[in-house]
Amino acid sequence: MGAPDTSSPLANSSEPPLVILNPAGNRGRCAKLRAPLAQALKGGRGELALTTGPGAAEQMAAAAARNGRSIIAVGGDGTISEIAGGILASGHQVPLGIVPGGSGNDYACYTLKLPRDPLAALEIALTGLPTPMDAGAVNDRFFINSLGVGIDANIAARAEKLKRVPLLRGNALYQVASVYEVLFQYSHCPQLHVSLDGAAEDQRAYALAGVTVGPTYGGGFHINPAAEANDGLFDVCLIVKPPQMRALQLLPMVKQGRHVGKKEVRQLRVRSLVLEADHPINAHCDGEVFTGKRFEARILPGALLIRR
């Protein structure tokens, strides 16, 4: 799986930007953006296209990128990641604009600092300066912002299950999932073999290993608050598994970025790393949960051109 050709032209298509909207995003709330976006795109400013299911956004983005057409992603971190993955898989660099429409919007609002107002973000997505931004690759997938294993991945998996509970969403959803995992599933924190830029470390139990391009994940958890998304490096946070009560103390610290410098915490910057467990464990990648035993990640410097 290679990075796109960064020497290719930004966009060579005479067609207007393809604006990809995931109407199912944010529990269907993104569908409400269809009418105002269509109005704002009148006059040939962009072509609005709706996704029809999982994988559709990636396919649409890859086809547009191969034709040299600029793209605008409308949705949450998962949709943006899928569209960016389509561009990266195409082997071509084209400008990507972003309109945040999710519940967390870590990449759009915390990393890129785009406005949360969809129409204000759309103007930047249409006219902003294309800026090289890093991305990541892990095993057979791309990511734009975050990869993690440990209790945070278990929390993300628990949150997926809890989404079926009425009225439980946003920060409340993740707070309930977090407390549940620490109180009742803390023994599931993994034993990991960690290798950083080719240097292997001893196996030990970790509460989490968070790998990011930007400073936050999980809807504003400042896991690597000093991260810069265009420095050609991953920021990595490794937290050795502390006693259970200490873990309860650390959770709110991570939310605010106050865990930096604590005795259980290591933070560093690398170009590649390997996280390996003895059995399949949960992982999260741009908010999407999957499982595996070995996760090989590498930075892709300047692989995306994001309008800012």
In a structure prediction context, what are the per-residue pLDDT tens digits for the chain, which is 308 residues long?
A: 655 555 444 556 689 999 999 998 888 889 999 999 999 999 999 999 999 989 999 999 999 999 999 999 999 999 999 999 999 999 999 999 999 998 889 999 999 999 999 999 999 999 999 999 999 999 999 999 999 999 999 998 998 888 888 877 767 887 888 889 999 999 999 999 999 999 999 999 999 999 999 999 988 899 999 999 999 999 999 999 999 999 999 988 998 999 999 999 999 999 999 999 999 999 999 989 999 999 999 999 999 999 99
Q: How far is CA 249 from CA 178, 209, 245, in A?
A: 12, 18, 7
Q: Which of 38, 133, 59, 44 is nearest to 95 (CA)?
A: 133
Q: Is 67 exposed, middle or buried (0-12, 13-18, 19+ CB in 10 A)?
A: middle
Which pTM was predicted? Answer: 0.92
| 46: helix, strand or coil | coil
The one-letter code for the residue type at 266 is: R
- Secondary structure of residue 272 in the 3-state scheme: strand
Written as one string, the DSSP assignment of 228-245 is -TTSS-EEEEEEE---HH
Q: What is the DSSP string of 14-41?
A: -SPPEEEE-TTTTTTGGGGGHHHHHHHT
Write out the two tokens for 77: 């971190």
**Which domains are present in the chain?**
18-128 (3.40.50.10330), 146-301 (2.60.200.40)
Integer Cα distance of 116 and 220 in angstroms: 14
Q: Most distant CA pair in the chain: distance in Å?
A: 60
Question: Distance (Å, rounded) from C-alpha 306 to C-alpha 303?
Answer: 10
Contacts of 38 (CB under 8 A, 6+ apart): 48
φ/ψ (deg, to 5) at 159: -65, -35
pLDDT for position 4? 55
| Tens digit of each residue's pLDDT (9 = 90 or more) over 34-44 | 999 999 999 99
- Which structure tokens are listed for 76? 């949450």
